[in-house]
Amino acid sequence: MSRIASVLLPLPLPEAFDYEAPDGLELAVGDQVAAPLGGRLVTGVVTGLREGAGGNRPLKLLAGRLDAPPLSPSTLEFVQWAARYAADVAGLPLAIALRGARAPPPRPDRMAMATGRLPTRSTPARIRVLEAAAAGPAMPADLARRAEVSAAVVRALIDDGALELRFAPPPEPFGPPDLDLPAPPLNASQAAAAAALKAMIAEGGFQAALLDGVTGSGKTEVYLEAVRAALAADPAAQVLVLLPEIALTQALIARVTERFGGAPGEWHSGVAPPQRRQVWDAVAEGRCRIVVGARSALFLPFRRLSLVVVDEEHDTSFKQEDGFIYQARDLAVVRAKIENASVILASATPSLESLRNAETGRYRWLRLSDRHGEARLPDIRLVDLRQTPPDAGRWISPPLAEAMAETLAAGEQTLLFLNRRGYAPLVLCRACGQKLTAPDTDSWLVEHRYTNRLVCHLTGFSMPRPAHCPHCGAADSLVSIGPGVERLEEEARLLFPEARIAVFSSDTVRSAADARTLVETMEAGGIDILVATQAAAKGHNFPNLTLVGVIDADLGLRGGDLRAAERTFQLLAQATGRAGRRDRPGRALIQTWAPDHPVMQALRAQDRDAFVRTELDEREIAGLPPFGRLAAVIVSGRDPDALEAFVREMAASAPNAEGVEVYGPADAPLALVRGRRRKRFLVRADRQVDLSGYMGAWRARVKPRGSVRVTVDIDPYSFF
């Protein structure tokens, strides 16, 4: 008999592999180990241990246990639950959970310190350096700045033996939070919501609450009170705050730092690998008690997670749509339940799923109906483009241009909102009529005038803007169709040449630091007109912003997406809510070709409840979320005939189940991506059906052949 370890590897493999544990190797569930796979060693995690024989063939020996923090039992349970929910293999969410563990650790700092030896030659500059070094070790560059000398002076003292370099570990970046620092005063509505959240946390166990407050109502301060209560209740408690956009993290980190006297752990794709490793280790060891991050922070190995906050819980950015597919908002609730923790979902425009859970009592429903302080909700006006269209080749209507002029004259700021990157979303040839697309892809190429390139936002392909049509060869025949934020900026500069104008999009703001710089400039009044995509439509507080102009309000209503109306309402409510957030009244002008659409009427009346009731009634009749469940299946392949044969086989093998309807196969809206043909199934199920189990069973019945790939998306948010 030998000791057998089941090891889950962070790879797309169907199950954990069994290995023999070497004699004398102490192992526990959750340990990270080096496991041989083929001709290499792979980091894996022990998910089970037993005594017994290995089977017909001898098992491979584990190479050893890694000197790294283990994954907690609750983290492992969450990884395995997430895989079952997504009808996918557990190695994929495990890879997300181990992402920080596999990053290189921060390098030790080289610190300069005095040796006690006098330099062979004394100068005033050298004396200042030695006096500065007497205060304690410092990095050479810092020592030079402190002594106001060049780096060459410090190097000379090191060479002379008067200073020496020693490696020192980086200082602990995550000190204990100071829970006694004063908090900003709360109004009556905020105080009542904060008290309810504190009571919920004091009860202990799994609890869920929806913090539903209008834009500018001060939801952040309310949930920070809950964070304080969770940390105070247990000296080992940890808190996770999830945000949908990297651009929002810096502002919240600054508020958390001010509120608790120290910076939280920061987790998103913009964090350098060594700092990511530092956060991962500190979370696993319980030293980092507050984490602010993007959706993947859910998979961090928390030792004692007591509270999860999902800010802007409605945001579609919480949906991961490639690789391992998941909805972070929903998984946050599950993680809290597994951890026996509380979860707070916060939004000014909650998702219909969360509102339904609040209505039925599954979540506590805390509402903030007024803005904080003297601020009031903006006045909203619809601009009927059928009556007052822009001039030919322009996109800003006369009423909006007039309002912008008035705002500039008053010394106030304007936000022009258009949720479309680049200069133009389509480039076509006037000679042959061909629309330019990415190679082997149906996706249009978007013109980016700043870089003079055509870019596919789906595949990442880019090329210089050609002088001749690639299809017919005609010269100077390519024309730009439609507006993007770059084109809108161009028009704003023509209308207001003296104004200070900036663009806020993922093309112009490439990092969290860039976002913070732009936001600070806007907050300080250094920008008159901000042209922005959804990157600036949520979470930001610009005191002098009094006018929001929505350029193409109908953009999100096009197509057959079941969530089109909901998403459009949420996005435009968030965008218009940027106006008038301090003591100055705000207004918003929404340009639309369909002013009678229910979404536009609800926005004009600022009657969210009426819109939600209508939308929920329609969903209930159709059995769609939140009253039913959906799953999407995308099947792709390079050989059209083989793909067609496979999807027919897959359709025939769909399990028969009461309360489940399977539609398809049909061509996906984007039927060609990177040379792969794409077919789609859509599955609708009644609420009580175990849709994940159904999809897992269906997936197990068919084995893709050749280049065919099958992707399952539980609760899809996009349908391309």
pLDDT band per the 50, 70, 90 thresholds, residue 556: confident
Q: Which residue has the tokens 């008690």?
A: 289
**What pLDDT sits at residue 359?**
95
Alpha carbon distance 666, 634 (integer Å) = 10
With 90 as the cut, is the pLDDT of residue 409 above it?
yes
For 242-278, the pLDDT digits (tens) are 999 887 788 899 999 999 999 999 999 888 898 999 9
User: Which pLDDT value is given to residue 560?
Assistant: 66
pTM of the model: 0.89
Q: How far does Cα 93 stand from its chain's mean position?
A: 16
Give me Rg for the CA atoms of the chain. 29
pLDDT digits (tens, 9 = 90+) for 281-334: 999 999 999 999 999 999 999 999 999 999 999 999 999 998 999 999 999 999
pLDDT, residue 509, reads 82
Closest by CA to 588, choosing from 404, 344, 378, is: 378
Give the number of C-alpha atoms closer than 13 A to the C-alpha of residue 152, restricted to the C-beta side. Answer: 0
Q: C-alpha angle 565/566/567, rounded to 5°?
A: 95
Beta strand spans in 371-524 (E): 379-384, 413-417, 426-429, 446-448, 453-455, 462-464, 478-481, 501-504
pLDDT at position 249: 84
Considering only CA atoms, which of 270, 392, 350, 386 is closest in space to residue 569? 350
Split at pLDDT 50, 70, 90, the class of 374 is low
- What is the model's pLDDT at position 55? 60
Residue 663 has pLDDT above 70, yes or no: yes
Distance CA 591, CA 382 (A): 6
Summarize pLDDT for 334-355 with one digit per residue, the tens.
999 999 999 999 999 999 999 9
Burial 69-86 (b: 16+ CB within 10 A, else e): bbbbebbbebbbbbbebb
Q: What tens digit of pLDDT does each residue of 574-616 get?
A: 999 888 877 788 999 999 999 999 999 999 999 999 999 999 9
DSSP per residue, 637-660 = ES-HHHHHHHHHHHHHTPPP-TTE
Report the distance separating Cα 110 and Cα 329, nearest Å.
42
Which pLDDT band holds residue 373 (cuts at 50, 70, 90)?
low
- C-alpha 61/C-alpha 479 separation (Å) is 64
Task: Give per-residue pLDDT as tens, 510-542.
Answer: 777 788 889 889 999 999 999 999 887 777 788
Tell me what pLDDT residue 196 has: 97
C-alpha torsion 207→213→217→222, nearest 10: 0
User: Would you say residue 397 has pLDDT above 90?
Assistant: yes
Residue 54 has pLDDT above 60, yes or no: no
Q: Are 340 and 206 in contact (CB under 8 A)?
A: yes
Q: In 3D, which of 692, 628, 691 has the Cα closest to residue 80? A: 692
Say how far apart CA 271 and CA 714 lie, in whole Å: 29
Measure the CA–CA gap between 279 and 273, rounded to whole angstroms. 10
* Cα separation, 351 vs 39, whole angstroms: 48
Q: What whole-number percentage of the chain has pLDDT above 70?
A: 98
Question: How far, in whole angstroms, is CA 235 from its chain's centroid?
Answer: 29
pLDDT, tens only, 480-504: 999 999 999 999 999 999 999 999 9
**Residue with structure tokens 């200073």?**
163
DSSP 702: -
Whether the pLDDT of residue 208 is over 90: the answer is: yes
The rounded distance, in Å, linking the Cα atoms of 299 and 332 is 10
Q: What is the mean pLDDT of residues 183-191?
A: 93
pLDDT tens digits for range 696-718? 999 999 999 999 999 999 999 88
Show Cβ contacts of residue 57 under 8 Å, excluding neighbours closer than 6 positions.
none
- What burial class does residue 663 get, using C-beta atoms within 10 Å of its C-beta: 0-12 exposed, 13-18 middle, 19+ buried? exposed
Structure tokens at 57: 């063939």
Distance CA 622, CA 612 (A): 15
pLDDT value, residue 14: 86
- Choose among 570, 540, 567: nearest CA to 556: 567
Q: Would you say 240 and 297 are in contact if contact means Cβ atoms under 8 Å apart? A: yes
Q: What's residue 455's pLDDT?
A: 95
Buried b or exposed e, range 509-542, using 16+ CB within 10 angstroms: beebebbbebbeebbeeebbbbbbbbbbbbbbbb
Q: Which residue has the higher pLDDT, 171 or 301?
A: 301
DSSP H helices in 410-506: 485-495
Whether 56 shows a pLDDT value over 70: the answer reads: no
First to last CA, the chain: 53
- What letter would DSSP give residue 519? H
What are the pLDDT digits (tens) for 96-141?
999 998 888 887 778 888 998 889 888 999 999 999 998 888 889 8
- At 375, the pLDDT band (50, 70, 90 cuts) reads low
Could you give the CA distance from residue 174 to residue 339 in angstroms, rounded to a whole number?
A: 22
Secondary structure (3-state) at 468: strand
- What's the pLDDT band for 559 if we cut at 50, 70, 90? low
Tokens of 218: 């001060």
